[in-house]
Structure 1
Amino acid sequence: MTLSTSVSTLLLGTALLSASPLAAEPNTPTTAKASSPQQQAKNKLRALVGTNIDFDLHPYSDDFFRLTLGNEHLLLSKDGNYLFSGRVIDVRNRVDHIAKIQQIANQQKMADIPYEQLLTYPAQDEKYRITVFTDIDCPYCRKFHKELPALNQQGVTVHYVMIPRGRAGSPAYQKTAATLCAERPNQAMDAAMRSTPAPAENTECGHSLDIQVSLAQQFGFQSTPTILLPNGEAVPGYLPARDLVARLAQR
């Protein structure tokens, strides 16, 4: 059974949780024993998804464990009988808990981002660092790119992770690789965002496009632009500089 087939058989959907609001994730996870409630819940889920899919349960609240299957972030009730995906809204506290556990997972993955292999637009007086998953053929990515001078002036350093529209070897992929591997990659990126891509003279360099595509897959991001904030929150779509800086200042 494939992962997608397994996930599609699970109890998925939106749950409105108002009677028993979820608490924040404990700072110190507990170690599960063979007969613990955590292990019992895991065994129930294992019976559903099969033995060939790896997953771990992590404490999230008094009522739920959190887990990830592939790039799907889920909540599992402590008794192992209910699995939640999509949006799980705590009405009382106005918290989307699936978005919250995705943010936790993003924070953990951010520690392994190879920033030295990304194209970076540094702020002179850095206050914030954001990572933007982008594509040189995406209209709203090009619109966002025009905001970079204003972002840099307001202390925001921008790291780019490229997600070309084609697979390895395709014209879109080669065009993106050539831009990253140009003698002056930032200037080449500026030109590419104006529909003037660099000539495909060199497509292998320190800004490895393969690594960047793999990074996007690890985060589960497919749409561009997607803006990854320092706290792990993922913001899909275009934001003007003034709105993005205001959002960063609130966190």
Structure 2
Amino acid sequence: MPPFATAWRAAALVTTLGLAMHAAWANEAVIRKNLAERLPSLPRIDEVRPTPMPGLFEVRLGTDILYTDAKGDFLIQGMLIDTKARVNLTEERLDKLTAIAFDALPLKDAFTTVRGNGQRKLAVFADPNCGFCKRFERDLAKLDNVTVYTFLYPVLGKDSEAKARAIWCAADRSKVWNDWMQRGVTPPEPKSSASCDTSALERNLAFGQKYRISGTPTTILANGQRIPGAIGLDRLEPLLAQAGAAGQ
């Protein structure tokens, strides 16, 4: 290809990209202006950006996501799903916005279970009355060479709160937790609740609210990846391997 042709194509590409960026900036300005004027009670807009759907823009308010057209004439609240890829783009975006670095986890508010050499690490937010959590715990018990940090996350009612307090106040939290979750042995009432500080449970709930942990179990891998729900070992094992490789 002649040098002038290569240079022409490069210049055309730069021009095209420049026009696209200018259009995006123009749309953002219009969207911000119109939404602010028409919806004065709307929280401050942190970010406006185009979505993969032509003509649709994401409006980010903190960690809340809305969608609008290029002029801000319409506002949509809901999930954007890529039907070809079968991906919930809204959930994917929210997971990125609320990603939790493993070293940012308040591990002092969790109890630890170590199996084998404990080299692989994961954290689990779980409710003691969550059926999916119980199923997940039975799978976790089959893992070797793992350290599991369990954050008691009682979101399913008063009984969950009572059981979480009993587990947290136990001398051997890991044993009492596993006895209950895997074998149905009710956690014993603490001998002296006055001497047991359960403020960690309140901090766990506040932490979960901040990072949009809306269901249990929710697992955080060493690379920060968040896994909602109970997944089987066939999926968990390769994810643990990937997380370990990313941390090396």
Structures share a fold, TM > 0.5? Answer: yes
Q: Structure 2 unaligned runs (5+)?
A: 1-24, 244-248
* Structure with greater proportional helix content: 2
C-alpha distance in 1 between matches for 2:60 and 2:174: 38
Question: How much has 1:56 moved relative to structure 2?
Answer: 1.6
C-alpha distance in 2 between matches for 1:58 and 1:231: 28
Quick one: which of 162, 170, 193 aligns to 1:202?
193
Give the number of aligned pairs.
Answer: 212
Does 2:230 align with 1:238?
yes
Corresponding position of 1:157? 147
* TM-superposition CA deviations, 1:17-52 (whole Å, max 9, x none): xxxxxxxxxxxxxxxxxx975454234334455437
SS at match of 1:177: helix
Q: TM-score scaled to structure 1, two decimals? A: 0.65
C-alpha distance in 2 between matches for 1:218 and 1:161: 15
Larger radius of gyration: 2
> Is contact 1:59–1:66 with CA below 8 Å preserved after alignment?
yes
Quick one: which of 123, 127, 134 aligns to 1:135?
127
**Cα distance change of structure 1 residues 61 and 161 upon mapping to structure 2, 3 Å threshold:** same
Structural RMSD (CA): 3.6
Quick one: which of 176, 188, 200 aligns to 2:164?
176
> Is contact 1:227–1:234 with CA below 8 Å preserved after alignment?
yes
Q: Which shifted more, 200-209 or 129-138?
A: 200-209
Q: TM-score scaled to structure 2, two decimals? A: 0.66
Does 2:119 align with 1:126?
yes
Letter in 1 for 2:60: L
How do 1:63-142 residues align onto structure 2 when only pairs under 5 Å count? Answer: 64-68=57-61, 72-76=64-68, 79-81=71-73, 83-91=75-83, 95-107=87-99, 112-122=104-114, 124-127=117-120, 129-142=121-134
> Is contact 2:124–2:220 with CA below 8 Å preserved after alignment?
yes
Corresponding position of 1:189? 177
Question: How much has 1:211 moved relative to structure 2?
Answer: 0.6
Does 2:199 align with 1:211?
no
C-alpha distance in 2 between matches for 1:65 and 1:245: 35
Identity %: 22
Letter in 2 for 1:130: L
Q: Structure 1 unaligned runs (5+)?
A: 1-34
> Is contact 2:102–2:223 with CA below 8 Å preserved after alignment?
no
